[in-house]
Copies of this chain bind each other. A is one copy, B any other.
Amino acid sequence: MILALAGGVGGAKLAAGLQQVLGDKLTVAVNTGDDFRHLGLAISPDLDTVMYTLAGINNPQTGWGLAGESWSFMDMMGKLGGETWFRLGDRDLATHVERSRRLASGEPLSAVTAALCERLGVPARVVPMSDDPVHTMVQTESGELAFQDYFVRLHCEPAVRGLRFDGAAAARIGTAFADAFAAPTLEGIAICPSNPYLSIGPMRAIPEIEQQLRRRRVPAVAVSPIIAGRAVKGPAEKIMRELGREVSALEVARGYLGLIDGFVLDAQDAALTGAIEALGLRAIAIDTLMSDTARSAAVARETLRLIASLA
């Protein structure tokens, strides 16, 4: 069994590749720092991106939401003067309404996620990082912003000065996530090419998760979300620059020191292999761009090969 840590789009792509290879021998732990209540509903953007991608019903164009979505709800919401800055498709909305109803009835987020994934026929086990609320707060030049205000409403425009993961210090690791770490069948850990600050950062801010990663009994590898000094998608590049970090796979590898044994970087960054190995990591340079499901499976296979070589 492999345990993958994932955030949004890039993480979901590698998770889908791993699922192609491993089927149900995969647990994907997902960031919930982006979760928020909107229009009275409990929205879990990263859980949904992973769930929809693993179910094969995601919208590959946008990277979020469902393929073939319709927008009647949103149109009417606009007519009624409601908030429309966070786009909720008609079908997607069913996920939020059903999740909200189940949470309100006392089910933990992990149970709700498991039930939704089962209904959608997802072979892998998808688990939230925690059943406790954690809220990523973005400290910017214009003050502290809730994550979705920063990410969606303000299109990541304000310069980031720092991040705060509200609730993380007191949050417990999700039960199913802890079970995966403890499973005798666990063979390796993969940190997906998700934003190290916004997607993996909230997990690391939960003390039990950082501890489990540091005390791992099996090899762990990370896949770089930075290719040739650019993020494939999302604000990772902009944030690294604003935080005064070098925008490179090497900087990502440095950030994960202590948590990983191996590192997968892009062939375009092959020149960095030596510097990364000098950090004490085993590194491989491959084509990491997951432009379709075949490429996702290929990156997954190479990642699993690296894990196996470290065992």
Interface residues in chain A, defined as those with a beta carbon under 8 Å from any beta carbon in chain B: 39-41, 66, 69-70, 72-77, 79-82, 89-95, 97-98, 100-101, 104, 115-116, 119-120
Contacts and interface: CB of A to CB of B under 8 A. Distances in A.
Most B Cβ at <10 Å: residue of A66, A72, A77, A95:
A72
Nearest to A104: B40
B98 A39 contact: yes
Contacts of A80: 94-95, 98, 116, 119-120
B91 A72 contact: yes
A122 B75 CA distance: 18
A115 to B, nearest CB: 7
A77 to B, nearest CB: 4
Contacts of A116: 80
A97 B72 contact: no
Given A39-B101, A40-B100, A82-B101, A95 B120 contact: no
**Contact residues of A: prevailing secondary structure:** helix
Contacts of A74: 94
A119 to B, nearest CB: 5
A69 B70 CA distance: 12
A204 B282 CA distance: 79
Contacts of A120: 79-80
23 contacts: A39-B98, A40-B40, A40-B97, A40-B100, A40-B101, A66-B76, A70-B70, A72-B72, A72-B90, A73-B90, A73-B91, A74-B94, A76-B91, A76-B93, A76-B94, A77-B94, A77-B98, A79-B119, A80-B119, A81-B98, A81-B119, A82-B94, A82-B101
A164 to B, nearest CB: 26
Nearest to A97: B39
Contacts of A97: 39-41, 73, 77, 82
Contact of A75 (B75, B76, B91, B104): B91
Contacts of A100: 40
Given A80-B119, A100-B40, A93 B93 contact: yes
